[in-house]
Amino acid sequence: MSETIETSSEIITLTIDGQEIQAAAGQTILQAAQKNGIYIPTLCALHATKENGLESDIAPGTCRICTVKVNGRTMAACTTPVAQGFVVENDTEELNDLRKTIVELLFVEGNHFCPSCEKSGSCDLQALAYRYQMLSPRFRYAFSSREVNAESPKLLFDRNRCILCRRCVLAIRTEDGKQLFGFTKRGDKSGIIMDEELVKNISEEQAQQAMHICPVGAIIRKEKGFDTPFGQRKYDQNPIGSETVCTTCNGEKS
């Protein structure tokens, strides 16, 4: 599992859904796809942009929503480096149904009440649920008992909505590099913990960055709810996947 990705200048040729594309050796299938304007869904992987303040792309490989078939085998597109002659299947009925299942499982496993969630309209999980047309529940709700941590003066951490993607763990650090969030326990007991002392002292900008990086409404700026009217939220105009990362900048940091 790679967390940051090194690339070289060697050129690799592969196909995604029958389309021949070229990529630099060391890039992941996801990066190669993004560079060529092909959409592969992501939840845990995040492309570095000015907006999110990341130095380089991250790919914790925790969510598996990016699952593609490589030469017939299912692999995570965000963690699999490209290789010469790869035949990648991506936008197929079978894979999209698999992705829908992952989304559904994330919904029943946490406690999501989108109507009152500040992230509604800007939430990646919700946007994927729309994309894959999640309608009535197929799985039984787990009704997990999750705590809300409101100790920090700037952030509200709502574990009910956390999908354990690990973005916050990898991406949100103090200026001197200390982690603000960490993973705890295992299996169905897994969870995210905050370093309360460090989180207490974060700046406005960092609080904003943390909210931005979390793909769902688990990390929320306090007292900032619902400031963005309908129509102006992230996915109001363009549903998720209708655009990929800028295709002219080679998927590099903009």
Q: Contact positions toward ligand FES, by CB under 6 A?
A: 42-45, 61-66, 76, 78
Residue 192 partner contact from ligand SF4, another protein, ligand FES, none using kind-dependent CB cut-offs of 5 to 8 Å:
ligand SF4
Binding mask 124-163 for another protein (x = CB under 8 A): ------------------------x-xx----x-------
CB of residue 190 to ligand SF4, shortest distance in Å: 10
- Residue length of the chain: 254
Residue 114 partner contact from ligand FES, ligand SF4, another protein, none using kind-dependent CB cut-offs of 5 to 8 Å:
ligand SF4
Q: Is 68 among the residues that bind ligand SF4 (CB under 6 A)?
A: no
Report the 10 Å Cβ neighbour count for 87: 13
Q: State whether the Cα torsion 30-36-41-44 is positive or negative.
A: positive
CB of residue 244 to ligand SF4, shortest distance in Å: 21
Encoded tokens for 97: 């149904």
Q: Is 226 among the residues that bind another protein (CB under 8 A)?
A: yes
Question: Rounded to the nearest 5°, which phi and psi values hold at 182?
Answer: -145, 165
Alpha-carbon gap, residue 60 to 192, rounded angstroms: 14
Burial bucket for residue 32 (CB in 10 Å: 0-12, 13-18, 19+) = buried
Size of the site for another protein (CB under 8 A): 20
Between 68 and 162, CB nearer to another protein:
162
Residues 179-198 touching ligand SF4, rule: CB under 6 A, are: 181, 192
Report the 10 Å Cβ neighbour count for 206: 20
Strands annotated E in 132-253:
148-149, 155-158, 181-184, 191-194, 219-221
Residue 229 partner contact from another protein, ligand SF4, ligand FES, none using kind-dependent CB cut-offs of 5 to 8 Å:
another protein
Q: Is there a contact between 76 and 61 (Cβ–Cβ < 8 Å)?
A: yes
- Which of the ranges 76-84, 112-120, 201-209, 223-231 carries the binding residues for ligand SF4, by CB under 6 A? 112-120
